[in-house]
Amino acid sequence: MLRGLQPALRKGNWAVTAAVHDDGTGAAPRLVALYPGLREAPLYGLAIDLGSTTIAGHLVDLTDGAVLASSGLMNPQIRFGEDLMSRVSYVMMNPGGDVEMTAAVRAALADLAGTLATEAGVDAAGITEATVVCNPVMHHLLLGIDPVELGQAPFALATGSALNLAAAEIGMGAIAPAARVYILPLIAGHVGADAAAVALSEAPETRADLSLIVDVGTNAEIILGNNQRVLACSSPTGPAFEGAQISSGQRAAPGAIERIEIDPVTKTPRFRIIGNDHWSDDPDFGTPAITGICGSGIIEAVAEMRMAGIVDASGLIGSAEQVGTERCTATGRTHEYVIHDASPDGPRITVTQGDIRAIQLAKSALYAGARLLMDEMGVERVDRVVLAGAFGAHISPKHAMVLGMIPDAPLAAVTSAGNAAGTGARMALCSVSARRGIEAQVHHIHKVETAIEPRFQEHFVAANALPHATDPFPELSKIVTLPDVSFNTGGSGEGGGRRRRRG
């Protein structure tokens, strides 16, 4: 057991109960809290996935591992930079910037702990333990370590081992006074404890089939492996998959478009929004009000535009004349596709050429990272693809493959693992053997640094096409026929944008 309650002192009608922590290493158990009286209430733990964009947390009953509350909030460090390298740059350009970001994220963790305790209706003083998983930059900033070395080769970690700290050391003073925090080990300079948690949760080393596990986020973590070998890398996808850098984008919240279909003949869309079970063409569509489009929605929108012939393989949006719909409107020298227009009183939600480009850049980085691991493994195909992460759980496998986010595979072999990093964090929260297991496993995972691999750029450029410039997608072609259209306006006549059909 990691923790327990035991009478510390009793005399007459007066008693004190102690909460103790045993980390399983053989060290003497630590006293983490004292409670007046004979306490029989359970103790609680926090499992936290500290992401670049979102911080997700789960409050767990340490008696049986049940999740009592789950919540999340935006990482306040976003105001210093939307992605990891921009935050490292902020530190380089602003002396003391790392101290600012450390204070911001620690305050956010304290707020999240209080929110979870309130939602579950428990006393925050009963939270005696926590686990944290995060990428290396978040890890260093949480610990108050300058992350600048992670912004340049050889991407050296100040520390990568698992850590067992007093919660107060990282500003989580709202929980039990001497509560402990376990931070999972990092794998490499750009492959963090979140990837280790995914490896713990999915355990590819126990399977004979070759698994590609993709934790989709601002900084994607990618694992490829089986019972012979396990590889890992990270890829800088940026925040576009989470609705940032998108003209009508927003975080996943009520009112955001999360699903979309486009009629390939009329080019008319219909969609669903978060908080409403009806499609937009249903008379019962109703409320809440449409507010924007979230990450899963923009992925489906771009893929549907490709399948409907609104976007060509290079990512160009056609004109109204080329596509055959007035929903394609000119914006300067490019075009945009109108999904919903409630102006002047409501939002006008479009997919712009800039949005397409942001998705192309994000998906190219993701695919290039996967291909690098496949090159290292010496394979052209994988047996299964697992989409992980809170966001990955909402991605449609078909639309992801149409975009070329992931390598070609039978759709039945593409599954979702939900927030696998969060699952790994909960496993480590509740099990000493899980902690010892992942601490040993990270030493057997081969790390590939995408930033210094020459072939990354080659794979990245080829992956800009939808779905890909050179790699075949035979499994995708069994279920989808992509229109052979070109909207390149660089020429005139036959080369300037007329629709071409396969002979």
Nearest CA-CA partner of 221 in 386, 464, 395: 386
Residue 113 and residue 146 in contact, taking contact as beta carbons nearer than 8 Å? no
Residue 55 has pLDDT above 90, yes or no: yes
- Given a contact cutoff of 8 angstroms between Cβ atoms, the answer to whether 205 and 212 are in contact is no
Residue at 133: amino acid letter: V
Per-residue pLDDT at 14:
46
Question: Which residues sit opposite 50 in a β-bridge?
Answer: 55, 134
Find, among 29, 21, 18, the residue nearest to 2 by Cα.
21
CA distance 84 to 98: 12
Nearest CA-CA partner of 371 in 408, 418, 322: 408
Lowest mean pLDDT among 18-22, 252-256, 352-356: 18-22
Q: Tell me the two tokens of residue 146.
A: 């300058």
pTM of the model: 0.85
Average pLDDT in the chain: 88
CB 60 within 8 A of CB 68: yes
CA R_g for the chain: 25
Digit-coded pLDDT (tens) for 385-396: 999 976 777 889
CA gap 349, 187 in Å, rounded: 41
- Residues near 254 by Cβ (< 8 Å), separated by ≥ 6? 273, 274, 275, 288, 291
Q: In degrees rounded to 5, what are phi and psi of residue 329?
A: -115, 150
DSSP strand pairing (384-388 vs 211-215): parallel
Q: Please tell me the predicted confidence (pLDDT) of residue 132.
A: 97
Q: Is the peptide bond before 185 cis (omega within 30 degrees of 0)?
A: no
Looking at residue 33, its pLDDT comes to 57
* pLDDT value at residue 419: 87
CA 10 to chain centre: 49
Q: What is the pLDDT of residue 36?
A: 53
pLDDT of residue 497: 41
For a pLDDT cut of 70, what percent of the chain falls above it?
89
Three-state secondary structure along 188-241? Answer: ECCECHHHHHHHHHHCHHHCCCCEEEEECCCCEEEEEECCCCEEEEEECCCCHH
Q: Where are the alpha helices (DSSP H) in 226-317?
A: 295-307
- Res. 488: pLDDT tops 50: yes
Kindly state the tokens that stand for 80.
């210093």
- Cβ proximity of 220 and 214 under 8 Å: yes
Q: Is the pLDDT of residue 367 over 90?
A: yes
490 or 94, which is more confident: 94
Band of pLDDT at residue 115, cut at 50, 70 and 90? very high
Per residue in 180-228, pLDDT (tens digit) is 999 999 998 889 999 999 999 999 999 999 999 998 877 889 999 999 9
pLDDT of residue 503: 33
Q: What per-residue confidence (pLDDT) applies to 415?
A: 93
Q: What is the pLDDT confidence band of residue 25, given thresholds at 50, 70 and 90?
A: low
Position 493 pLDDT exceeds 60: no
Please check the confidence at residue 24 and state whether its pLDDT lies above 80.
no
Q: Any idea what DSSP says for residue 300?
A: H
Residue 355 phi, psi (nearest 5): -65, -45
Distance of CA 42 to the CA centre of its chain: 32
pLDDT of residue 5: 47
State the residue for tokens 């290039």: 368
| Residue 15 scores a pLDDT above 90 | no
* CA–CA separation, 418 and 265 (whole Å): 35
Please determine, for residue 336, whether its predicted confidence score (pLDDT) is greater than 90. yes
Asked if residue 312 lies in contact with residue 318, where contact means CB atoms within 8 angstroms, the answer is yes
**Residue 384 has what pLDDT?**
96
Residue 22, pLDDT score:
63
Q: Residue 316 corresponds to which tokens in the numbers above?
A: 């160009």
Task: Place 418 in a pLDDT band, splitting at 50, 70 and 90.
Answer: confident
| Mean pLDDT value of segment 427-438 | 95
**pLDDT of residue 52 exceeding 90:** no
Confidence band, pLDDT 50/70/90 cuts, at residue 322: very high
Instruction: Take residue 98 and report the two structure tokens written for it.
Output: 């790392």
Confidence of residue 34 (pLDDT cuts 50, 70, 90): low
Q: Supply the pLDDT for residue 288.
A: 86
Per-residue pLDDT of 145-194, as tens digits, reads: 999 998 887 788 999 999 999 999 998 877 888 899 999 999 988 899 99
* Domains by residue range for the chain, with CATH: 3-183 (3.30.420.480), 203-239+358-420+440-477 (3.30.420), 242-356 (no CATH)
